[in-house]
Amino acid sequence: MQSQALRADLLMLLTAMIWGSAFVAQRLGMDSIGPFLYSGLRFALAVLILLPLLPLLERRSRSAPSVPLNRQLLLGGGLMGLALALGINLQQAGLLFTSVTNAGFITGLYVIIVPLLGLLIGHKTGLGIWLGASLAVGGMFLLSVGEGFQVAYGDWLQLAGAFVWAVHVLLVGVFARRHDPLRLAVVQFATCALISLLLALIFEDIQLDSIIAAGPAILYGGLFGVAIGFTLQVVAQKHAIASHAAIILSLEAVFAAIAGAWLLGEALQLRGYFGCALMLAGMLLAQLWPKKTSTPLTETAASADAASRSGQPRAEL
């Protein structure tokens, strides 16, 4: 069991690194095409990559023989894909109006939002969550609120996306232990791709030259951000310790900030860095604070994706 938990932790650390760096690809991809088209193409690419590999991946996982696609699996994957499409496209559109660093840290607030949403279904929320949420809110104020108490439009979109990611995490917690995770991921990706491409057809101008120009970003986002990153996350959560998972996956925000500074030359003012530190501290405090009793659904959900995101998400992403 310890070796399985360690393996899951390492897989999730790799997932957090991939997701963090994928924010850069998501931003660069929109230099040529719209957010819906970018999301649709990269998730469609992930489906095309995973479908032929599915039998091999299932054999290597050494799991029990999988059953054919059924109504319950399609329903679960479809609901997860709907939440993923909403979350990833809010995140994607938000990147047009904010930085990779802001997007990464604000998206990471889903770690705190998950147990807060648990209040709506009767779960108790401990002191650590409230303290962590307070730190995170203060950090977001320093990171996002500018002169005249104005918040960038993109930051609002990222915050809305964080709530959607939290719902996605709860859905993953419900379905990922009931169905084959790889097949669930493929159904989810296909649903997200279909919804995003339909939105692109309605709202965006689609040109072949623009798609070719965005090709490297689509390739990285589809291959690494979705096909590898999301699939690793879904597989890892099978043996993940909930508190470990939420903490490790929240490091996505740190990797996003590092990638943004290194590859895009992004820089924050001192108050912005202090805000990032407060947000990260709030995320970690919410997970590390001792709990008297565990809440099965919210703990399971936190390990799921703290959507990315499960496939989740950011989304995407």
Per-position DSSP letters for 165-176, written without gaps between them: HHHHHHHHHHHT
pLDDT tops 80 at residue 255: yes
pLDDT tens, position by position, 51-104: 887 777 666 555 544 556 678 889 989 999 999 999 999 999 999 999 998 998
pTM comes to 0.80
- Scanning the structure block, which residue is given the tokens 């819906």? 36
* Neighbour-count burial for 77-94, b at 16+ CB within 10 Å, e otherwise: bbbbbbbbbbbbbbbbbb
Average pLDDT over residues 247-261: 82
Q: Which residue ranges make up each domain of the chain?
A: 2-305
Query: Minimum mean pLDDT among 93-102, 162-171, 301-310: which range?
Result: 301-310
Cα dihedral sign for 81, 58, 65, 299? negative
Average pLDDT over residues 144-173: 84
pLDDT tens, position by position, 192-207: 999 999 999 999 999 9
